[in-house]
Amino acid sequence: MKPMKHVGLVFGALGALGLAGLGGLALGCNGLLGIQSATVGDLDAGAPVEAGVSCAYYCQTITQNCTGADDTEYQGDLNLCLNMCNALPSDTGFLTDTSGNTLGCRIHYAQLAASDPATNCRFAGPLGGGQCGAKSDACTNFCALDVPYCLSVKTPAYLSQSTCETQCLTGGDAGTGYLFVTDGGANTQGVDLPDGTNTLNCRFYHLENAYPSVSRGQTHCPHTMPISATCY
């Protein structure tokens, strides 16, 4: 398995424009779910966020506790985490959740990652590592982010949420969909979002790289497609 490549993320004017439409959708969804939306401007540099089921607390916790080369989620970038968290369709849940596709479950494992990142960071990540949601939930989360964003930068990888989820779950030559790296077997340790593998995880890695700007989106959105030049 190739090591995860770390790419510096810069959110400039293009990034703000590229995310504007998606941000509106995120606020609508999160308003229904009761998830507190937040931006970097809402957070004082270095100041702790009050514990609770919010994107602000989640993103501060996971970016502080998941920093190793094999453990990093959202590429360690607070702004990227906030933008993605505010658009995820996860339920709110509770801080005591230990399973299920909830923000509370992810926060639970992000907290545990302070002492054991190798085990817990993948559970705290957007795909849930097979613990915070099933593979179908991981596909739903991936598609809910990929479809509107890549459409917004005019380089769609999928034309609809349903098409994306079908490809994710049942597409591919073997009809088994994208391979999903979980905590099982040989993948108990190692990179959660590896590049250069025919996995959902690799496609999510490139979706993260697509987020900072329109130009980056136009480069990396095609890498999230069913037939990908980088995830094969």
**153 close to 212: Cβ distance less than 8 angstroms:** no
What is the Cα gyration radius of the chain?
Answer: 16
Is 1 among the domain residues? no
The answer to whether position 211 is within a domain reads: yes
Q: How much is the pLDDT for 99? A: 97
230 within some domain: no
Residue 138 resides in a domain: yes
Can you tell me the distance from the alpha carbon of 146 to that of 204, in angstroms, rounded to the nearest whole number? 9
Neighbour-count burial of 191, counting CB atoms closer than 10 A to its CB (0-12 exposed, 13-18 middle, 19+ buried)? buried
- Is residue 25 within 8 A of residue 87, CB to CB? The reply is yes
- Please give the pLDDT value at position 39: 45
199 backbone dihedrals φ, ψ, rounded to 5°: -135, 160
Q: What is the pLDDT of residue 176?
A: 87
Domain residue limits at 131: 13-224
> What number of other Cβ atoms are within 10 A of residue 31's Cβ?
10
Total-model pTM? 0.80
Res 43: pLDDT: 52
Residue 194 and residue 201: Cα distance in Å, rounded? 7
| 111-120 long-range Cβ contacts below 8 angstroms, 24+ apart | 111/61, 111/65, 113/62, 113/65, 113/66, 113/71, 114/64, 114/65, 117/65, 117/66, 117/67, 117/68, 117/71, 118/68, 118/70, 118/71, 118/189, 119/183
d(C-alpha 191, C-alpha 181), whole Å = 9
Total domains in the chain come to 1
Cα–Cα distance, 113 to 62 (Å, whole number): 8
Whether 4 maps to a domain, the answer reads: no
Each of the 232 residues of the chain gets a pLDDT tens digit; together they read 333 433 333 323 333 333 333 343 333 333 333 344 444 445 544 578 899 999 999 999 999 999 998 899 999 999 999 999 999 988 999 999 999 999 999 999 999 999 999 999 999 999 999 999 999 999 999 999 999 999 999 999 999 999 999 999 998 777 889 999 885 555 456 789 999 999 999 999 999 999 989 999 999 999 999 999 999 8
Assess if residue 83 is contained within a domain: yes
Per-residue exposure over 163-186, b if at least 16 CB sit within 10 Å of its own CB, e if not:
bbbbbbbebeeeeebbbbbbbeee
Residue 126 covered by a domain: yes
Asked whether residue 8 is domain-assigned, the answer is no
